[in-house]
Amino acid sequence: MSKFKKGGKSELPAISTASLPDIVFMLLFFFMVATVMRDSSLMIENRLPSADQVEKLKKDRTTFIYAGKPSSQYKQFGEEPRIQFNDAFISVEDVQASVLQAQADMNEELKSKIVVGLKVDKDTHAGLVSDIKQELRKANTLKVMYIANAKAQQ
Amino acid sequence: MAKRAAPEVNAGSMADIAFLLLIFFLVTTTIEKDKGLLRSLPPIDDSEVEPPIIKQKNLFTVLINRRNQLLVEDEQMELKDLRQAAIEFLDNGGGTNAEGASCDYCQGKRSPSSSDHPDKAIISMKHDRETSYEKYIDVQNELVAAYNFLREREATRLYKRYYPNEDKVYAAMLAEKEKNQFKKDEELNERIETIKKLYPLKLSEAEPDKN
């Protein structure tokens, strides 16, 4: 009589998959939190220029202004580059009011640090951009960031 | 009738359901990483103060016309040469600054016909309304690159000993500041300010003519 099994192949125990749901849920929550559902669908073409001296953008204090030619579904707005803010086309005169509105909706401590991100299509003429900048000066939101694709530094 | 115990719910398919959701979110996620050139606009100034007179030699003019051609200091130039030209202008150090100190860290040619001191050197840029935005950003990028190059050089000269393993000392300092944004490091901030003061960013933009 022996207490110990002698010889005989001992089978490997099956790996427990009980913790698999936990792991998967953990990943799931990460991606759920990281997901940003696009809140404004672009009505314009938006191919950004590229630059190599770029800095990172601080998302919490940035409000975006888009500009470019209306994309193919919005041909009824013509060929000329237009300005888009949130979900609508705005005229140059409305930029100031829109930006001030966005600033008012911001956290109190970030209001003075507002940055306006300009996402402008690279085929737009620079005159439109300087019109926008003039309006931003009137709104006294002086920090702008020209959003660009990063390219490798030479 | 005896009360029957509720049967155990089979949780075996939980992982499948979670995987399904996981894959959905994996596919829809776009981790946004916007980057760009940060610039400050000048405030609107209504006061009637005479603008100070700036000597022509302290001004580096960059014009972009409607055909996206560059005119730098009254000479046509290719974009690839702009960075070097701007560096030479900023780093010239031919005279003294407002306090009468000469630029002892400049490594330029010290030509009397170019800028006196990085403090006084101003890059002035003007574009046409019809200039393409792409070209405009390219030029901005080259000019910022010129400043960054000089700041990097000075940071390497002054603070290399604190960052012996870094190639780009100034970039490393800025990265460290970014990382420690919630605990202020006075010494680091002071060093960054010192570097910025050596080559202050003086880049003015004129409004394009309305016509």
The pLDDT tens digits of the residues spanning A69-91 come to 888 888 888 888 889 888 888 88
A11 located within any domain: no
Element (H, E) at A13: none
- With CB atoms and an 8 Å threshold, state whether B136 touches A53: no
Question: In angstroms, rounded to a whole number, what is the distance separating the alpha carbons of residues B76 and B62?
Answer: 10
- With CB atoms and an 8 Å threshold, state whether B34 touches A59: yes
Q: Measured between CA atoms, how close is B3 to chain A, in angstroms?
A: 31
> What would the pLDDT profile of B10-25 be if each residue is shown by its tens digit?
777 877 888 888 888 8
* Residue B31 or residue B126, greater confidence: B126
> What would the pLDDT profile of B86-122 be if each residue is shown by its tens digit?
888 888 877 777 777 788 888 888 888 888 888 888 8
CATH number at residue A132: 3.30.420.270
Q: Measured between CA atoms, how close is A53 to chain B, in angstroms?
A: 6
Contact list, B43 vs chain A (CB under 8 Å): 137, 140, 142
pLDDT score at B55? 82
What is the interface pTM, i.e. ipTM, of the complex?
A: 0.75
* Structure tokens that stand for B203 in this block: 């880049």
Average pLDDT over all residues of chain A: 83
What is the average per-residue pLDDT within B141-157?
89
User: What pTM, to 2 d.p., does this model score?
Assistant: 0.78
Strands A50-51 and A82-85: unpaired
Q: Reply yes or no on whether the pLDDT at A9 is more than 70.
A: no
Check: CB of residue A46 under 8 Å from CB of residue A117.
no
Q: Reply yes or no on whether the pLDDT at B47 is more than 80.
A: no
Strands A50-51 and A149-150: parallel
A109 located within any domain: yes
> Considering its fold, how many domains does chain A have in total?
1
Contact list, A27 vs chain B (CB under 8 Å): 22
pLDDT score at B176? 83
What is the average per-residue pLDDT within A59-72?
87
A108 located within any domain: yes
Determine the structural domain holding residue A119 and report its residue range.
50-150
Sign of CA dihedral A77, A80, A84, A89: negative
Terminal CA-to-CA distance of chain B, rounded, Å?
95
Nearest to B133 among A37, A49, A149 (CB): A49
* Residue B48 or residue A73, greater confidence: A73
A22 located within any domain: no
Q: Measured between CA atoms, how close is A84 to chain B, in angstroms?
A: 16
- Integer-rounded Cα Rg, in Å, for chain B is 27
Which residue in A17, A28, A110 has the most chain B C-beta atoms within 10 A of its own C-beta, making it the best mutation to test that interface?
A28
A8 located within any domain: no
